[in-house]
Structure 1
């Protein structure tokens, strides 16, 4: 599905990093920030926001924990869209207006992939409802074998039976949905099993070509953070 997102029209640059938990989003985010921030103003943001993450109904529906109520899948989608709008109004657009490079860990595409993996058929109204979400100037999708990704999460968090982020079949459904969106929306796919420095170099090359600014090349592969996201 193609999403006709809105150009933000601000002097800054919006860079989104997408992918399932464990693909290395946080590693790449921190590496780009370390490479770019010495010469250019930067901001970072996480999607979904804490408002979404800590909602009792979200936690009950996704993780089966807490006192909330299990809500319908379309309700999760509505809440996700509201969260996207809140994040861009409160964090993304003000930083872009200041001329900053805004690095967002996860974006709309991740939220839709999550719900598709849970079995939600995309409603016909979704593209129109998402149309006023701002389009990233650059969006990188980290993709890899579901077995490898789940193994990373299990090694990081310990085995948690029943968790969707430790389910190989769920992870593959998520990856399949995200790959389709990457193709339909011309997003740049990176290999989750690539060396961190390789993915960083690809990101910086894209930024240099598009921005015309001399972002420095990394001297060596960055060390992976302890909790790849």
Structure 2
């Protein structure tokens, strides 16, 4: 895949339930694009900033309510957008996000919050040029989590992940490409790179004036 630079950058979000392979895919895309000379910024949510750290610490210090989790996630995302995402896009970089606001909608929605309200709270967040949705049966996701030596957290139950999966699938966000996460890592990467190539072509065409 040839290197490229697009005015305004390219925002790629990778989503899906726990165990779907988001981090593996994000790193593989970063490595492949960077090897071709493309400037890539790879980040994740929640971030390692103060709000994201506080959210992760709550897993061991005591559960927060869904509203409290939403508040911390939105605060974290505002800082993420202002300090990293928007500046990187302004430099024309490819920004790859391992989770973004769709995870917020899916997980807090599965916890009982109004999905439309959660989406509205995230209206400030730039919409992805490409949303790669890794689709996976929760049973398989939980098996992968245990296989890598992790203990499923309070979010990671069959029922909860099933609700999250349904919300992900029902989101009507533009430029979403769903990928079967049970495929091999190389097959998933190939589909993702094909989607990125199509997205860059679409964005470039949108910026090219019509010939007269």
Same fold flag (TM > 0.5): yes
2:179 maps to: 190
Match of 1:170 among 138, 145, 160: 160
2:205 maps to: none
Q: Which structure has more RCO (C-alpha within 8 Å, separation ≥ 6)? A: 1
Aligned residue runs from structure 1 range 70-149, under 5 A: 70-122=63-115, 124=117, 126-149=118-141
Task: Kindly indicate whether the alpha-carbon contact (under 8 Å) linking 1:77 and 1:112 is maintained by their aligned counterparts in 2.
Answer: no
CA deviation map 1:5-63 (0-9, x unaligned): xxxx95211111011221101111111111111221111011111233421x6643xx3
Task: Kindly indicate whether the alpha-carbon contact (under 8 Å) linking 2:130 and 2:199 is maintained by their aligned counterparts in 1.
Answer: no
With the length of structure 2 as denominator, give the TM-score of the two structures: 0.82
Shift of 1:78: 2.3
Query: For the structure 1 residues 41 and 147, does the alpha-carbon distance in structure 2 shift closer, same or farther, using more than 3 Å as the test?
Result: same
CA deviation map 1:194-222 (0-9, x unaligned): 11111211121122223249xxxxxxxxx
Q: Is the counterpart of residue 203 in structure 1 residue 192 in structure 2?
A: yes
Q: Which has the higher helix share?
A: 2
In the TM superposition, structure 1's runs of 4+ consecutive aligned residues that sit over 6 Å from their partners are: none
Indicate the RMSD between aligned Cα atoms, in angstroms: 2.2
Query: For the structure 1 residues 203 and 58, does the alpha-carbon distance in structure 2 shift closer, same or farther, using more than 3 Å as the test?
Result: closer
1:37 maps to: 34
Task: Kindly indicate whether the alpha-carbon contact (under 8 Å) linking 1:109 and 1:178 is maintained by their aligned counterparts in 2.
Answer: yes
Structure 2: tracts of 5 or more residues without a match: 1-5, 203-212
Alignment: residue pair count: 194
Task: Kindly indicate whether the alpha-carbon contact (under 8 Å) linking 1:153 and 1:166 is maintained by their aligned counterparts in 2.
Answer: no
Query: For the structure 1 residues 122 and 206, does the alpha-carbon distance in structure 2 shift closer, same or farther, using more than 3 Å as the test?
Result: closer
